[in-house]
Structure 1
C-alpha cells in the first residue's frame, strides 16, 4: 500500500544522522519566535479568548490588539533585561498599523521573519497565483522597510498549500518554519531546489497550549523549563534546536509575563553552555556545513507540485 506523500523530505531517524556542533562547540540552539500579528476588524480569522459573538467581535479583536499596543512592548523590555535575541514573525500589515513597534525590534537587531500579510487569512486555501501574490506583497513590504530580503517564512496559521515551499523558494526564501517534524534542521525538496526546514514548536507554543488546551501560565512556563533541561541533556548526543513560540497578546498579559520571565531567566542563565540565537542564524550555520551533514532533500518528484 502506498500512501499519498508530500515528496519534500525522506525518512531519517535522528540517532542515525551525522553529529555536528553549533558555534563554539555548543550542542543546543535556542531561539524565541515572537509572533507580531495584525487582524482585520469585523471579519476574517483570529484566536478567541472567549466564544465570539456576531461581527464585529469587539471582545476578541481588542484582546488581540492588546498585544501590539501593550504586550509586545513588555516582551521587548523583558528580552532587553535578559539580553535575549528574538526572531520576529511579522505580519507585513504592521508596517502601516504600528511602525513604531516594528522599529523598536529592528533597533535591537532582531531578525524579521515573513509571516504573511495578516493572520486574518490563510494562504494555503488560495489558488497558486493568488498565493504567489500574497507572498510577493508581504515580501515587498519587508524589503522596503528592512532593506533586504527576509531569509525565513512562517505561514499565517501554519497554512501551506501543496505548492507553498516551491513558491517560497522561488521568491528567494532560504528557510521555512511551518514543518514541526524534527528537532534538527532538514533540507526539503522544491521544484526550484532545496529549502531548509528549521524546527518551530507546536507543543512549546502559547497558542495551542493556552488557547486550545487552556493551560495556566505557570504550567506553560514549567513546560519551557522542562523542555530546555531535557533537550540540554539530549543534546550531548546530537545537536538540537529548541524554539519557543510566543504571541504578544497572550504572554504579554501581566499574569502570564511573570511566569514567562522565570522560564526565560532560567534559559538565559545557561547562556555560556547553549547557543541562544535567532532562527536565521541557525539556518545560516547549517548552510555552511559540508553536504550530507544534514539530511538532504530527496530528488524532486513533482509531488506537492
Structure 2
C-alpha cells in the first residue's frame, strides 16, 4: 500500500490546514456567508428490503416495521410545519435552498410549487429519508441511486446543481460518482468552516452540522430554548475573525422547527440572521458557484497525494 502524506488517511481530498488555503471574500466584500436549508423529505412506512436508514433514530422516533411513527412525524412537517416556515421566510425576505428527496418531490407538488414560486433552489437529497447511501452498496448500486435521484428530481424541479446525501450517507466512491453525474458541489463533509475542493473537482460546501435542528435538538437533546444562542454565538465568532470564506448553514426540518412550540426560536434566529449587515445570505448554489470561481473552479490544484 502506498504511503499517504502527513495529515489525511484517504485520497478524497488533499490535507489543507487553514493557513495554507486561499482567503477569499463573498459578494460585497463580506467575509462570512450564511444559507438556510429547508428539508422536504418523504419516508417510507415500510422501506424495501436491503435499504438502510440512519441508525441513530431510535426510541420514540422509531417503532420498527412498518414505521408509522417516523412517517407521521415527517408527514406533520409536510402538512403543517412547512407553511409556517415559508410564511416566516416571506416576512423576513430571506432566500432558501431546499434539500428535497425524489419521493417527496413526487408526492408534494404543492410544496415544490410554493418553493419554486419563491425562487428557492432545489438540492438533490437522494430517494427517500429511509434510503441512505452506505458502504453496503456496490458502486453500481450507488451510481444508480444517484442517477435516479438526479433524473427524477430534474423532471419535476429542474436546477439542482448540488447534492446532500440522506443523513450525510457517503462512501469512498461518492464524491467521484457525484462529479461524474454532473453535480458541482455537495454537503456531506462537516469537516470545515470554508468550502474546499475534492480531488474529483466536486466542491465541498460546509453543511449545517451543529446548526441542523434534528441533529442538535432531537439526536443530541439540546433544549430548543438554546437554539437562538447557538446560532448567535457562532455568527458572533465567525464575524469577529479576520479570515474570509466562512460559511454558516442552518438546517431546518419542518417537522422539527416548524412545530408551534419551536417556531418562535427559529424566528428569533432568522431575524438575527437578516439583521447582520456584515453577513452575506444566499442560496447554497450561489455560494458554491462563487466559491468555485474564487478557488479556481475545476479539479483540485493542490499537489497530488504521494504515490497517487
Q: Same fold (TM over 0.5)?
A: yes
Contact 1:207 1:247 in 2 (8 A): yes
Q: Distance in 2 between matches of 1:197 and 1:72?
A: 27
Q: 1:240 to 1:156 in 2, by over 3 A?
A: same
Give 1:93 deviation, angstroms. Answer: 1.0
Q: 1:170 to 1:83 in 2, by over 3 A?
A: same
| Equivalence for 1:28 | 32
| Equivalence for 2:89 | 79
SS of 2:176's equivalent?
helix
Contact 1:29 1:242 in 2 (8 A): yes
| Equivalence for 2:140 | 129
Give 1:62 deviation, angstroms. Answer: 0.6
**TM-align CA RMSD:** 2.4
Give 1:73 deviation, angstroms. Answer: 1.3
SS of 2:294's equivalent?
coil
Contact 2:14 2:199 in 1 (8 A): no
- TM value normalised by structure 1: 0.89
Among candidates 184, 205, 208, match of residue 201 of structure 1: 208
Q: Distance in 1 between matches of 2:209 and 2:184?
A: 21
Contact 1:48 1:60 in 2 (8 A): no
Q: Distance in 2 between matches of 1:87 and 1:288?
A: 20
| Equivalence for 2:118 | 108
Query: Is residue 2:75 matched to residue 1:65?
Result: yes
Contact 1:210 1:217 in 2 (8 A): yes
| Residues 173-182 or 19-28, more deviating | 19-28
Structure 1: runs of 5+ lacking an equivalent = none
Q: Distance in 2 between matches of 1:162 and 1:290?
A: 23
- 1:154-193 aligned at under 5 Å gives the runs 154-190=164-200
Give 1:182 deviation, angstroms. Answer: 0.8
Q: 1:130 to 1:252 in 2, by over 3 A?
A: same
SS of 1:207's equivalent?
helix
Give 1:18 deviation, angstroms. Answer: 2.8
Structure 2: runs of 5+ lacking an equivalent = none
| Residues 39-48 or 111-120, more deviating | 39-48
Q: Distance in 2 between matches of 1:97 and 1:111?
A: 18
Among candidates 144, 159, 163, match of residue 155 of structure 2: 144
Per-residue CA deviation, residues 76-107 of structure 1 (Å, 9 max, x unaligned), is 11111111111101101112211110111111
Give 1:48 deviation, angstroms. Answer: 5.4
Query: Is residue 2:100 matched to residue 1:52?
Result: no
Q: Distance in 2 between matches of 1:197 and 1:151?
A: 12
SS of 1:34's equivalent?
strand
Per-residue CA deviation, residues 115-170 of structure 1 (Å, 9 max, x unaligned), is 0010101112311111111111111122212344x210010110011111111000
Q: 1:177 to 1:298 in 2, by over 3 A?
A: farther
Give 1:237 deviation, angstroms. Answer: 2.7
Contact 2:36 2:97 in 1 (8 A): yes
Query: Is residue 2:217 matched to residue 1:210?
Result: yes
Aligned residues: 296
Q: Distance in 1 between matches of 2:296 and 2:194?
A: 15
Q: 1:276 to 1:182 in 2, by over 3 A?
A: same
- TM value normalised by structure 2: 0.89
| Equivalence for 2:17 | 13
